[in-house]
Structure 1
């Protein structure tokens, strides 16, 4: 059985995010206290100051950069078997850690745990829009506990786009191959990772409760990728892992329209 001592929130901080302290507050206010650390490849006064203020261990990545490098470095800094990569702009609801441990301990072979989520736009929680509705439909089968370990259900959540919200994910490292993320993709390295993991025996544990808020704003990395069209090429490459090329291209046209709600 995993306990609170077995989990770490690994904050990935980059640059000078005006939202970083709000994230830290949400992690400090969890109903179940677990380990908290911060990893960065851009140490600065803001990050150092917040780490000192909240007594958070800071680790500096001097190795491979990029999103994959930063995320893998954050995971490597953790001494616990369960790791949640907390993105600097997002917010976690107080029950996230407590409900995560309950669900993971219900599984014989957990791979990843993740939750439903809302968007945070201009300081306001948005719980329902077209993109969220589509993702929740894709996750419908995994919402049933008996389907958590079924390969078809795990891949259904990914075959039309990545319905799994990356910052809502807790990794069960003893059951995964390291490093978790591969370099090469800018926005879809999480989709790539979940696709690879979905082939393994084990459970994708989906909590249908909204337990985190994913912030959408102009300066997010995803928004930048959408604007310079890198996202479209990455989406097509991922869709081809599930579909023949002509079908993947048709799906990608429809999927591209859904991205407009993120920019």
Structure 2
């Protein structure tokens, strides 16, 4: 069995953190759990104490990339899932991770589908989720998913990879994992760069996490301050000529409606 850690990135005092930790402790295959933050508080100290998990505090101003790299770096196992504090994980998530690396030891990135929560309400799958499932199709061709063109084929029309659903092989990828100039599209940018490196991207097309959308979510804030549109336009510009970028962004921006009230 390959060692695995859920490294939870905690920002301020999320009302959903307790549910996230419970979902990780209920995994059918046990993994290590650590809590990491750049915004220490009595609430986070209490959560760590109640659940008997280590709490690591990063000095410095909160920053998504720095916080994710910090959590990734604090894990002392080969496999690392950077868990987001607002999301919940299916009890079989860690078991699927183990099965993936047992069958494909050269896997560098594992990912899954997700179910969407708005607050506490589970949403029916919509058009955007269906499109993302189609875009992930190349990564379901597991025997070919070590080819650069196959990995990039899943990323050329947008980023269908759900960041908190990912597990990374730290021994193969090294640290830091994230090295991007973007604040919102750093995960898409990182996947594009990792696709050039040896290793397999594996997708298990099951909703093994519940991805929560709420008013306090970073994604919503990035839409409102236009960070998302700027980053995603820049990412498309890496892949496509300008006329194509305009067309793609016209359709890709429709995904933002998922965060509207």
TM-score (norm 2): 0.96
Shift of 1:157: 1.4
Which digits, 9 at most, give the CA deviation of each residue in 1:136-189, with x for residues without a partner? 010112212223212222112111111000000001012114211125322111
- The aligned residue for residue 155 of structure 2 is 158
Contact 2:180 2:189 in 1 (8 A): no
Q: CA deviation at 1:130?
A: 1.4
- Identify unmatched segments of 5+ residues in structure 2: none
**Structure 1, unaligned runs of 5 or more:** none
Q: Which residue does the alignment assign to 2:196?
A: 199
Asked whether the equivalents of residues 118 and 213 of structure 1 are also in contact (C-alpha less than 8 Å), the reply is yes
Q: Distance in 1 between matches of 2:171 and 2:68?
A: 17
CA distance in 2, matches of 1:124, 1:255: 25
Counterpart secondary structure, 1:17:
coil
| Contact 2:111/2:167, CA 8 A, preserved across alignment | yes
Identify the match of residue 56 of structure 1 among 28, 53, 56: 53
Equivalent positions of 1:1-16 (< 5 A) are 2-3=1-2, 6-16=3-13
Give the conservation status (yes or no) of the 8 Å contact 1:72–1:181. yes
Q: Quick check: 1:11–1:87 contact (8 Å CA) kept in 2?
A: yes
Pick the aligned partner of 1:167 from 161, 164, 167: 164
Is the 2:73–2:175 Cα contact (8 Å) retained in structure 1? no
Report the Cα distance in structure 2 between the residues aligned to 1:15 and 1:24, rounded to whole angstroms. 15
Secondary structure at 2:143's aligned position in 1?
A: helix
- Contact 1:30–1:96 (CA<8 Å) still a contact in 2? yes
Runs of 4 or more off by more than 4 Å in structure 1?
none
Q: What TM-score does the superposition give when structure 1 sets the normalisation length?
A: 0.95
Contact 1:69 1:183 in 2 (8 A): no
Whole-Å separation in 1 of the counterparts to 2:186 and 2:218 = 13
| Residue 229 (structure 1) shift | 1.1
- Deviation of the 1:7 alpha carbon: 0.6
Task: Report Cα offsets for 1:88-130 as digits up to 9, x if no partner.
Answer: 0000000000111101221141110011111111312224111
SS at match of 1:16: coil
